[in-house]
Amino acid sequence: MQKNRDGLIFYSGNTVNIDDLLQIFDQICLLQADKKEISHRLTERVNNRFGKSKEVQDWLFDQQIEWDKALIQKGAIPIDATQDIKTVAYSIIEMSKTKRLPSQVS
């Protein structure tokens, strides 16, 4: 991935080695939604059973607080993912037009 520095590259998900990934990207956006929205999306999705139980959702929400806080401290730009998909996509595209150096993400 480091060789292809001219195009847009997106990574979606979370990982235990997030600090290694942060160094690869010029920008990091953090899609955020409130508990009610996340719970609804997890419960209603049909392509994956993970996260449907209250116990797992509670665990996810406990992790989310620290995850979001840590990523924002490292330079991630929060984007409200409860907006309609066109607005979220537009926010990401606009964010991608502003270059930031990897050294600005500590």
Check whether 101 has a pLDDT greater than 50: no
Residue-level pLDDT at 99: 65
Residue-level pLDDT at 13: 74
The answer to pTM > 0.85 is no
Which residue would you say has higher pLDDT here, 4 or 91?
A: 91
Which residue would you say has higher pLDDT here, 75 or 58?
A: 58
Q: Which two tokens stand for residue 72?
A: 């924002």
**Contact residues for 78 (Cβ-Cβ < 8 A; gap 6+):** 29, 30, 32, 68, 72
Residue-level pLDDT at 96: 84
Q: Give the whole-angstrom CA distance, residue 91 versus residue 79.
A: 7
DSSP 8-state code for residue 31: E
Residue-level pLDDT at 69: 93
